[in-house]
Chains A and B, each alone.
Chain A
Amino acid sequence: EVQLVESGGGLVKPGGSLRLSCAASGFTFSNYAMIWVRQAPGKGLEWVSRISNGGGTSIHYADSVKGRFTISRDNAKNSLYLQMNSLRAEDTALYYCARDAGAINFWGQGTLVTVSS
């Protein structure tokens, strides 16, 4: 059974940092590109970042997070990460880890990040 389990969310002050993790199981993790998508409370979906399969040499970010967020993966640990620095109030959202097969064919349940003083 495919599973994606996010962790690392929480309450952080503006300007602070958080590192999100996503533990994958039930499929060959290294074969898939992986992405982070976020959803602010009551709002729509926003694509955040993507890392290619294998060594993850191809990486892309949304303009809204470029220079502040860093995506990475550890195929030996079947894990995806999102390092978030210089956090802003507008980064408050539920962050989903998802499997990218072109279209997104599997989503985690999400981890909530709240940026507030």
Chain B
Amino acid sequence: DIVLTQSPDSLPVSLGERATINCKSSQDISYSSNNKNSLAWYQQRPGQPPKLLIYWASTRESGVPDRFSGSGSGTDFTLTISSLQAEDVAVYYCQQYYSPPHTFGQGTKLEIK
């Protein structure tokens, strides 16, 4: 199974500052045929189901604010929030959908400093 390791586990950031979350895969999750990376990012606020933010590593889901961006390829990926807002306090998960089981990272708790 593919293992995804997120860092850090917890991230305190001041309002208006940049937040960066990393996700490292135990194997390459890019398709050589189209150079797409099967990596998604989700936001889970307390008491809510997760919400899709980013898919194919860098494509923003419809309706997601443009302060959220995804980057990376192969085994190393990053979710960046350019200017933290209060409503961004949540746990963030990466997930690979390259091969089943479509494993998740352990989560990163983003909080206000």
Chain A interfacial positions (CB closer than 8 Å to B)? 35, 44-47, 50, 60-63, 96, 100, 102-105, 107-110
Contacts and interface: CB of A to CB of B under 8 A. Distances in A.
A107 B50 contact: yes
Contacts of B1: 63
Contacts of B65: none
27 contacts: A35-B102, A44-B104, A44-B107, A45-B42, A45-B93, A45-B95, A46-B104, A47-B101, A47-B102, A47-B104, A50-B101, A60-B101, A61-B101, A62-B101, A63-B1, A100-B97, A102-B40, A102-B55, A102-B56, A103-B40, A103-B52, A103-B56, A103-B95, A104-B40, A105-B61, A107-B50, A107-B51
B69 interface: no
Contacts of A44: 91, 93, 104-107
Interface string B45-63: 0000111100110000100
B102 A50 contact: yes
Nearest to A104: B52
Nearest to B91: A44
Interface in B20-35: none
A46 B55 CA distance: 18
Contacts of A107: 49-51
Chain B interface, >50% SS class? loop
A104 B50 contact: yes
Interface in B61-83: 61
Interface residues of B, number: 24
B55 A96 contact: no
Nearest to B102: A47
Contacts of A104: 40, 42, 50, 52, 95
A5 B10 CA distance: 32
Given A60-B101, A103-B40, A105-B61, A96 B49 contact: yes
Given A105-B52, A107-B50, 7 more contacts: A44-B105, A44-B106, A45-B42, A45-B104, A102-B56, A102-B97, A103-B40
Question: Most A CB atoms within 10 A — which of B1, B91, B97?
Answer: B97
Contacts of A108: 49
